[in-house]
Amino acid sequence: MMQKMFGALLFLCLSLQVAHAADESAVVSLFEGTSEAVGTQKKGKAGDASSQDGGILSFLNFKPFKKEAPKLNIADKERLSAFEQSVKLAEKGDVNAQLFLGYSYLYGENGAAVDYDKAFEYYAMAALQNDSVGLNNLGSLYYSGIGVERNQAKAAILFQKAADLGNNEARVNLAFILISGNGVEAQPAKAMDLFAQAAADDNLTAKFMLGYAYYTGKLRPQDYKKAAEMIRAAAADFDEAQYVLAVMYMSGLGLPQNYGNAVKYLRQAVAQGNVEAMTALGDILARGEKYNQDLFTAHVMFNLAAVRGAPGAAEKRRVLEERMKIEEVLQAQAMAEQFREKPSALTAYIRQTFGRGVRTYVDKAE
């Protein structure tokens, strides 16, 4: 009961702050036509890849934005731990301490046991001070129903407020909500504007989404040059960007046709476990038309794709086996068994937070 009263009071305070914002109508309109799903999630550790990967919009991977413990007061060093000192500082209104404690209770780190209610309370303290990280993380908890009843509309308003303060993670979070209409009225045009704002500040997730929109001509005028520039930037780390960039090199759209570069980016995506890249690389190496034929590696690629459920990959593997010696097939199978995908921090973050295949958000937008 106390938790619900605290949440209601918190949101009333935040709503009053939002009501005085310059773009009041843009924020309040998020409530129109919404269906507020209610249900409390208490299971699973926040950000656990086993529960979040492949899900839609969990917003619970705060690991890349971990807050360190505030510096200790010299007088307290001998009698208080860093965690205990943080509690004292948080009670006095220290935002960094509040964020540190919210993170600690959310993930059960820094000497704290997992406690979603306390995580919510400490992030709420930071949010009430208009801290953009606190607002964004509190919105994530509301969206996923961690420590509070799930409420996507409230999450959207908190993301909006954090975005107004310049928080790029909040801009991206809100953009994914608006482009999908997940819990709020779909506003794909506004979603793309938010991606554009975050992309201007070098957010690679936003750059990929905006670049893909330019590539397809959906939600943005088709512009292959802009698409190539943005997708190439994201391809430094993101597997899906590497795959799309390879497709652009194969087709010659926005970039000079170059199968050497296509294979390079496909290999990078494969290393991160991208199934589409496995199939595409296998096709190129099996045909041997625009790039040197390599049936052995093609078999490895089709094998990896097949065990991950790629349509048609098992049949392509079977066809190749008819053209290979038995010892080559056995060696290729052994190599496939030894493969371990190694997603980058960015790829892992996007998968856990927004799911795999994020470009489908653009494809499905109306």
Q: What is the per-residue pLDDT across 297-316, written as a single tens digit (0 to 9) for each?
A: 999 999 999 999 999 999 99
- Look at residue 127 in the predicted model and tell me its pLDDT: 97
Cβ neighbours around 106 below 10 Å, total = 27
Residue 315 CB contacts under 8 Å (≥ 6 apart), including other chains: none
DSSP 3-state of 38: coil
- Look at residue 75 in the predicted model and tell me its pLDDT: 53
Q: Judge contact between 136 and 167, C-beta under 8 A.
A: yes
Indicate whether 91 pLDDT > 90. yes
Q: Which carries the bigger pLDDT value, residue 15 or residue 327?
A: 327
Q: Judge contact between 208 and 234, C-beta under 8 A.
A: yes
- Mean pLDDT of all residues in 162-186: 95
Q: Judge contact between 197 and 344, C-beta under 8 A.
A: no
Indicate whether 8 pLDDT > 80. no
Taking the C-alpha atoms of residue 190 and residue 201, their distance in angstroms, rounded to an integer, is: 17
Q: Which carries the bigger pLDDT value, residue 64 or residue 34?
A: 64
Q: Could you check whether 2-186 and 213-347 share the same CATH topology?
A: yes
Taking the C-alpha atoms of residue 88 and residue 100, their distance in angstroms, rounded to an integer, is: 12
Q: What is the per-residue pLDDT across 245-284, written as a single tens digit (0 to 9) for each?
A: 999 999 999 999 999 999 999 999 999 999 999 999 999 9
Q: Judge contact between 131 and 99, C-beta under 8 A.
A: yes
- Could you tell me the pLDDT band of residue 54, with boundaries at 50, 70 and 90? very low
- Look at residue 81 in the predicted model and tell me its pLDDT: 85
Indicate whether 120 pLDDT > 90. yes
Domain locations along the chain: 2-186, 213-347
Question: At 334, which amino acid appears?
Answer: A
Specify the pTM: 0.82
- Look at residue 46 in the predicted model and tell me its pLDDT: 56
Q: What is the per-residue pLDDT across 14-40, written as a single tens digit (0 to 9) for each?
A: 554 443 333 333 332 232 322 333 333
* Percent of the chain at pLDDT exceeding 90: 76
In the block, tokens 């409230």 appear at 154
- Look at residue 183 in the predicted model and tell me its pLDDT: 85
Q: What's the chain's length in residues?
A: 366
DSSP 3-state of 251: helix
Task: Determine the CATH number of domain 2-186.
Answer: 1.25.40.10
- Could you tell me the pLDDT band of residue 13, with boundaries at 50, 70 and 90? low
If you classify domain 213-347 with CATH, what class do you get?
mainly alpha
User: What are φ and ψ of residue 101, in 5° steps?
Assistant: -70, -40
